[in-house]
Amino acid sequence: MVTYTPTAITASTTLKNSRHGDGGAVVNAAAGCTLTLPAASGSGTKFTIYIGTTVTSNNVIIQVANASDVMAGVLVGAADGGDTVNGWETAATSDTITLNGSTKGGIKGDYIELRDVATNLWRVDGTLSQTGTEVTPFSAAV
Q: What are phi and psi of 11, to 5 degrees?
A: -145, 170
Q: Which of 107, 101, 92 is CA-nearest to residue 139?
A: 92
Q: What mean pLDDT is predicted for residues 60-74?
A: 98
pLDDT digits 0-9 by tens, 1-54: 455 677 889 999 998 875 555 668 999 999 999 999 999 999 999 999 999 999
Rg (CA), the chain: 14
* DSSP element (H, E) containing 13: strand 13-14
Reply yes or no on whether the pLDDT at 100 is more than 70.
yes
Structural domain includes residue 101: yes
Structural domain includes residue 1: no
Structural domain includes residue 80: yes
- How does DSSP assign 38-60, residue by residue? PPPBS---EEEEEE-S---SS-E
Reply yes or no on whether the pLDDT at 120 is more than 90.
yes
Q: How many domains in the chain? A: 1
Q: What mean pLDDT is predicted for residues 62-78?
A: 98
Mean pLDDT of the chain: 92
Contact 43, 94 (CB under 8 A): no
Characterise 55 by phi-psi region: left (phi > 0), alpha (psi -120 to 50), beta (else): beta
Reply yes or no on whether the pLDDT at 72 is more than 70.
yes
Cα–Cα distance between 22 and 141 in angstroms, integer? 26
Give the confidence band of 115 by pLDDT, cuts at 50, 70, 90: very high
Q: What mean pLDDT is predicted for residues 61-81?
A: 96
Domain of residue 17, residue span: 7-139
Structural domain includes residue 38: yes
- pLDDT at position 80 is 85
Q: Which range (23-27, 37-41, 93-97, 115-119) has the least confidence?
A: 23-27
Structural domain includes residue 2: no
Cα–Cα distance between 22 and 80 in angstroms, integer? 31
Structural domain includes residue 95: yes
Q: Which of 17, 8, 59 is CA-nearest to residue 37?
A: 17
Q: What mean pLDDT is predicted for residues 77-86?
A: 87
